[in-house]
Structure 1
Amino acid sequence: MKTKLISALIAVTTLGVLVSVAQAAEDAADSRPPRPERPSREEILARFDANGDGRLDKTERAAAKEARDELRARGDKMRARALERFDANGDGKLDAGERAQAETAMRAEIAQRPRAMARIDTDGDGQISDAEWAAGREKMRERGGRGGPPDRR
């Protein structure tokens, strides 16, 4: 009888620990900004399969790798500039307050640039709503960072 009780108690305790660990992991994942999705195989083929054979040959793979490396380098430069400008405590990363400050500054800078404002302010009210901001960030992510076309063949 005691053995069954102890086994049940251990099982309930273990379940409780597992649930709390899972909840902590979920909370941590929610606090991080979403990572951009990687392009699908079909998207990569559409962009880099120059001869249309459905496969990437050596030259096409080299072009894809070069584009990826260029995108990473551009992202690294943008992150370095953001850290230099907004990392107030000098810890090498932007905490929530620093990210909020950076977003406020970027919105203000965009409002001063008519072409950028026209692209983001889709309802034309002269303000950037949260929905417009999120859509603009997604477009920029799709385009690989700063304003260039999505396909750079």
Structure 2
Amino acid sequence: MLSAQTRALCEGEVLVSNVESSRLRGAEAWVLFRVRWQIELLFKLWKQHGRLDESRGQVPNRILAELYAKFIGLLVQHWLLLAGCWDLPNRSLVKGARVVRAWTERWIRVIHHPRRLAQVLKELLAAIRRASRQTMRRKEPNTWQRLGGVSSA
């Protein structure tokens, strides 16, 4: 059984950095720590929504080919997210990826028709932009809300 004093010591968290304390305040360090988590969320998006751990194949070469195809699809999806919503501070990559997947059949049908493809991609980017916004949260602010708070502090 832990003493009350030991439990109290376990409640704290320590961040270690090589940035001088005059250049990075404590609150800013915590925001940067949370921003790092955004990179983890990108990999999580790729793994979960890209279904990298699933395969219909039994033959090793087929499984490898399927994995490469999924990676290519994820790169195309990410490129569309970069073009469609990356500049939005309140973007939701999960919502944007959902839009990309919903539109996949449309742009695949016109992939060999450059003008039609350009039009479909233009419409897709607009749809991504509209659908990929996070809502504001009061209790647990999103990263973009925390970053806004640091820049105004």
Bin the TM-score by the shorter chain: 0.3 to 0.5
For the pair shown, the structure with the greater C-alpha radius of gyration is 1
> What is the TM-score normalised by the length of structure 2?
0.34
> What is the TM-score normalised by the length of structure 1?
0.34
Structure number with the bigger relative contact order (C-alpha 8 A, sep ≥ 6) is: 2
